[in-house]
Chain A
Amino acid sequence: MKKLYVLLVLIVLIATQIAILSSIYPISERGSSDASEPVTVFISKMNYASLRVKVDVTTWLDPAVLLFSNGTQIEIPASSTYTFSVVMPHNGFSFGSYNTQSRFMNLSDDHPINVEFLSNYTLNPYWELPSNEYVSSDSMYWFTVQGQANIAVMGIGAGF
Chain B
Amino acid sequence: MTEENLLDKMAEFKTAIDQVKKYRKLAITMIDFVLIIVTSIILLLTLNIGVNILNLHGFDISSTILGLLPIFDIIILSVGVFTGIIFVNRKMNTVTTLQWKNTLDEGTPGVLKLLQETNWENIFSEIRYAKLGFALYGVLKIVTYWLISAFAFAVIAGFTFVNIFHFSFNIGSLWMVSFVFALVLNAKDLRNRYEQIGRLDSLLLEFRWFEREFRRTDFQA
Contact = CB atoms under 8 A, between A and B. Distances in A.
- A and B bound? yes
Chain A interface main SS type? helix
B152 to A, nearest CB: 19
Contact of B45 (A6, A11, A17, A52): A17
A4 interface: yes
B52 interface: yes
Contacts of B8: none
B62 to A, nearest CB: 13
Nearest to B58: A52
Given A10-B39, A14-B38, A52 B57 contact: yes
A129 interface: no
A6 B52 contact: no
Given A10-B38, A50-B56, A52-B56, A3 B31 contact: yes
A78 interface: no
Interface residues of B, number: 18
B46 interface: yes
A128 to B, nearest CB: 28
B38 to A, nearest CB: 5
B42 A21 contact: no
B41 interface: yes
B56 A156 contact: yes
A50 B45 CA distance: 20
A10 B52 contact: no
Nearest to A20: B49
A21 B38 contact: no
A147 B32 CA distance: 63
B45 A156 contact: no
Nearest to A54: B60
Interface in A141-160: 155-158
B146 to A, nearest CB: 16
A156 B53 CA distance: 9
A156 B52 contact: yes
Contact of A21 (B48, B56, B57, B58): B48
B196 interface: no
Contacts of B46: 17
A74 interface: no
Interface in A2-44: 3-4, 6-7, 10-11, 13-14, 17-18, 20-21, 24
B72 to A, nearest CB: 14
B49 A14 contact: no
A13 B56 contact: no
B32 A3 contact: yes
B58 A14 contact: no
A54 to B, nearest CB: 10
A21 B46 CA distance: 9
A18 to B, nearest CB: 7
B45 A7 contact: no
Interface string B26-59: 0000011011001101100110110011011110
A3 B38 CA distance: 12
A72 B17 CA distance: 84
17 contacts: A3-B31, A7-B35, A10-B42, A14-B38, A14-B41, A14-B42, A17-B42, A17-B45, A17-B49, A50-B56, A51-B56, A52-B57, A87-B58, A156-B52, A156-B55, A156-B56, A158-B53
Interface of B: 31-32, 34-35, 38-39, 41-42, 45-46, 48-49, 52-53, 55-58
